[in-house]
Structure 1
């Protein structure tokens, strides 16, 4: 789990703005928030020790992560996670934490800079003998996100995508059938950036 996310999650509970603190003013909400965060931490710790996890566990981790982000940014995020009915989520195995870096990027760099609430769609689709994982947002797009980062910190270099690709390369060296990653810059009818779509194709493994 990203350290910055852990820190911001704690600050959500304890920081005070205009004399407001969620712990003091909404203890029931704070309790539910902490319970959700604890569950996410357990999911991630369990996953980090495993080479593969069930698709069901991955979906639960994603939903917990997105729910916490929505609590942090209630006016910024809508999300939906959809799963193809043809998928057996209890029997399908995948490497853990494939989606999280891209979901985090979508929120931190794609949606935070929007003037209106943004959307994230996470889809799990069965395509022949392949699991297709799609992460789509309607944020500001990669180019504008990079420009914003450079304006804020000219020395900034994004490492997340490169690190994730290297992880895929390591996984692919162990497998005959390879994991494929494709990042698509979405455009509207006028050719303006309208978001980003990440497509990860994962060969099936089943219990």
Structure 2
């Protein structure tokens, strides 16, 4: 489904970015369950906000790997990076207030509470270099 979403975004922005969706050879991708709408907001932010100023040359790398009994997902982009604290305040008090980060955190909290499906998430962002997002979750099979 993620590949379909990325292909649709490529239709919207044909020259703006490329993507690579890869996985560890040991991962049986047809058998692994990932909660709905967990990755899409992160990828949408990379495309909509990270690549906003780019006319071309955006790169999005998504990698899935098995680590012990966990699924590790890495999402990296070479966009503008996430806003600093001062920039977030300016954005929130201006015309646009992004809610996707809060919605994602709420979704992760609900998943952990309701379904015993803990998800760890870390962000590493550098202005004008890009953002790396790492997620870890228990492996669940279909």
TM-score, normalised with respect to structure 2: 0.87
- State whether structure 2 residue 119 is matched by structure 1 residue 184: no
Distance (Å, rounded) in 1 between the aligned partners of 2:19 and 2:124? 19
Task: Identify unmatched segments of 5+ residues in structure 1.
Answer: 1-60, 187-191
Find the counterpart in structure 2 of residue 198 from structure 1: 133
Q: 2:42 aligns with which of 95, 102, 113?
A: 102
Bigger relative contact order (CA 8 A; separation at least 6)? 2
Q: 2:52 aligns with which of 91, 100, 112?
A: 112
Q: Please report the RMSD computed on the Cα atoms of aligned residues, expressed in angstroms.
A: 2.3
Q: Deviations over 1:154-175 (max 9, x none)?
A: 1422110111111110110135
Deviation at 1:193, TM superposition (A): 3.4
Find the counterpart in structure 2 of residue 93 from structure 1: 33
Alignment coverage as a number of residue pairs: 140
Q: Deviations over 1:90-135 (max 9, x none)?
A: 2222211211001110011001212542101111111111101111
Does the 8 Å contact 1:185/1:193 carry over to 2? Answer: no
Q: 1:80 aligns with which of 20, 44, 47?
A: 20
Task: Identify unmatched segments of 5+ residues in structure 2.
Answer: none
* Partner SS state of residue 95, structure 1: coil
Find the counterpart in structure 1 of residue 71 from structure 2: 131
Structure 2 matches for 1:46-65, cutoff 5 A? 61-65=1-5
Does the 8 Å contact 1:120/1:136 carry over to 2? Answer: yes
* Partner SS state of residue 106, structure 2: helix
